[in-house]
Structure 1
């Protein structure tokens, strides 16, 4: 199963696509999201967001922000985000 992930900063849309899972740096520790996850809004800390697509794990460094999970859409509103080089 899969769901939509959007990573947005004040400057730009960093990522938008279909993923199989997401792991986020929560304020009280990392947490994961799979398809059909319960709705939630949470703060996120500085750290790495990891997501899986077709068996490949990818990572984006976040500098804090918020995440909303609703109806199989995970929207990350980050202060800043850095793609790996």
Structure 2
């Protein structure tokens, strides 16, 4: 049986939006959304805090846990 890796469920970042609490989400090419918080020391993503940083990550891959679970695409946010 083939070994499933994180790369199997990776998807490119296509854009960013904030949730109702102001936290950043990445919208992925697969149709899912994923929080992209900067919360050192557990999560180190200082690039999320600036427009230039977020733009530099467009096209980069993130592991999509929702794809791994076989979940349907998320709704597109209205804001």
Pair in the same fold by TM > 0.5: no
Q: Which has the higher strand share?
A: 1
User: Larger radius of gyration, structure 1 or 2?
Assistant: 2
User: What TM-score do you get using the length of structure 1 for normalisation?
Assistant: 0.28
Say which structure is richer in helix. Answer: 2
TM-score (norm 2): 0.29
